[in-house]
Amino acid sequence: MAKTPPNERQREVLCWIAEGCPAGAWGEGDFTYKTSAQALQNRGLAKISRRGGAWSAEVTAAGRHYLEHGTYLAPTERQEHARRHSKAKAQSTTSVTAHPTPSRNSTPCEPAAPEAVARPASTGRTASRQPKKTLGEQLIDDVLAAGGSLVVKPHYGAGAPNWTARIRSAQRCGRLPEGKELVHRWRAGGYEITIQDIPAWKLAVLDPIPVPERLHRPHTIVAALRDGEPTLGLSKSVQPRALRLVQAIVTEAERRGHTAQLTRGGHRSRRTDDAGLFIVTAQEQPCGFSFGQEQDRTEHVPTAKELADAERYSWVRIPQYDYSPSDRLTITLNGGIPHRQSVWKDAADRPLEAQLPEILQEVDLRGLAAERKRAEEEEQARLKRRRWEGAMRQAHVDYAEAVRIRALEQQEKRWRQARRFSAYLTAVSQHVEAMPDGTERAEAEAWLSWATHYVRSIDPLTQPLRMPEVPESRHSDLEPFLHGWSPYGPNSR
């Protein structure tokens, strides 16, 4: 099968590789040349290397032939070219090291000498001094080379790439362009990894939220939690701090125009529908707040009884660790569309008090998202009703048209029937006129008179012609003309 010739972009990249890949040929942040180089490698015109984490490329013998003649090497020529190139490369190794770049007088697509086309030794030494790229940094380069969006297929088993870890590494490595962030989502076929603008809400400077040192006038929610209705589910040592955090959250939420109320029944058993201790409603979007307490893990020291039981019974397992409640709290936010996150934890450098602005911002964002979703749903419902109303109007028109067509078909059928009957009655009349007088002729004339009157009654041309009346339609009459819509409403099925 004949190879597809390279396009204009690929020929430009091939000339650039033949010149020794000089820097500055492409715009800053433009890595699309790597895609073209890969296509050239697939055609056997170039060879790509990523040794030491550095990307480099060189032109093959077939690539030099294409630059000289504009055609691929014939099958009989490939072995001869390969033999000549290997011999010339072996003889000119010293020359390559001393003269790593092509002549200044050569044109961009002028074929260079084998010594100039081969990768210079100095480039290899430079690449060896460069630090090897991490998997996260390489992922960023790959996404940029793909135009800002890359879809990768997950693989499983030993040796399969851990894309989740690579994505986290890329997000932390600090190599993303300024003002950009790396996001990913699962879609049919794999992960879609995208580099896009950082949303404005992530760049906003948030004002701190004051947390009271003491509860002088606790909110009704705080007072109820303090009295154990519902229970906080925390150790007594951390309950005062948790209540002060609740006081700060509900006070700030109400200042922003949101409403706060206790959850009926307190904590639920299933985390998936856990409404939390109290609910803050923003833009009609309820957000449930739950408080938790992290555990400290220590090495378990077996007791004498545990050792004896483990020695006596094969099913006894001595635990490896002991767990005890710590002073570190967690706040979990349920409900709505998550933006930043849903769980906040105490950290050594950032206690929950410093993270309250982010938590309240998350409530605002989920409320705004709910409002946008509600507006979109209302707009979709309005457009759907408009389409349904248009379908209903057209159905009435089509129904009336069908009534008139049926009337026309019936008239045409009666007209043809009347024509047949009239021809027959003409023959009957001639037959009756030839009959002798008597009872038989009298009966025949009576029958001919009735038949003639009947034919005139069914002939539409013997009656006034007018537009047929359209009866009032029923829902069942309109269904054949609605093309899937229901006559009972836009949301009916």
How far is the C-alpha of 248 from the C-alpha of 215, rounded, in Å?
10
SS3 string, 302-364, reads: CCHHHHHHHHHCCCCCCCCEEEEEEEEEEEEEECCCCCCCCEEECCCCCCHHHHHHHHHHHHH
Q: Are strands 343-345 and 190-197 parallel, antiparallel or unpaired?
A: unpaired
Residue closest to 117 by CA, chosen among 53, 38, 57, 69: 57
Catalogue the long-range contacts made by 460-469 (C-beta closer than 8 Å, 24 or more residues apart). 460/411, 460/414, 460/415, 460/418, 461/415, 461/418, 467/404, 468/403, 468/404, 468/407
Q: Which pLDDT score, from 0 to 100, does residue 5 have? A: 79
Question: Is the peptide bond preceding residue 230 cis, with omega within 30 degrees of 0?
Answer: yes
pLDDT in tens, 401-446: 999 999 999 999 999 999 999 999 999 999 999 999 999 999 999 9
For the ranges 1-10, 92-101, 233-242, 463-472, the lowest mean pLDDT is seen at: 92-101
> Token digits for 9?
């972009």
Residues recorded for the chain:
493
Q: Are 286 and 335 in contact (CB under 8 A)?
A: yes
CATH fold, domain 135-198, is: Ribosomal Protein S8; Chain: A, domain 1 (3.30.1370)
Amino acid, single-letter form, for residue 329? L
DSSP character for 266? Answer: S
CA distance 390 to 13: 56
Q: Do the beta carbons of residue 100 and residue 135 sit within 8 Å?
A: no
Q: How confident is the model at residue 26 (pLDDT cuts 50, 70, 90)?
A: confident
Least confident residue range of 2-16, 112-126, 222-236, 325-339: 112-126
Residue 97 has a pLDDT of: 38
First to last CA, the chain: 55
Residue 207 predicted with pLDDT over 90: yes
Write out the two tokens for 285.
């979007």
Whether the pLDDT of residue 126 is over 70: the answer is: no
The single residue listed with the structure tokens 């409320």 is 367
Helix (H) or strand (E) holding 152: strand 149-152
pLDDT(46) > 50: yes
Segments of 346-469 assigned E as strands: none
pLDDT given for residue 447 in this prediction: 95
Would you kindly state where each structural domain of the chain is located, as residue ranges?
Answer: 8-129, 135-198, 220-375, 394-481
Q: Which token pair is 7?
A: 């396009």
Q: Is the pLDDT at 108 greater than 90, yes or no?
A: no
Look up tokens 């993303």; give the residue.
Answer: 176
Closest among 429, 258, 267 to 360, alpha carbons compared: 258
Query: Is the distance from CB of 432 to CB of 448 less than 8 angstroms?
Result: yes
Distance CA 493, CA 485 (A): 8
**Comparison of pLDDT for 438 and 268, the residue scoring more:** 438
- pLDDT tens-digit profile of 390-404? 999 999 999 999 999
Q: Is the pLDDT of residue 103 over 80?
A: no
* Average of per-residue pLDDT values in the chain: 84
pTM above 0.75, yes or no: no
The predicted-structure confidence for 127-151, as pLDDT tens digits, reads as follows 445 667 788 888 899 999 988 898 8
Bigger pLDDT: 191 vs 265 = 191
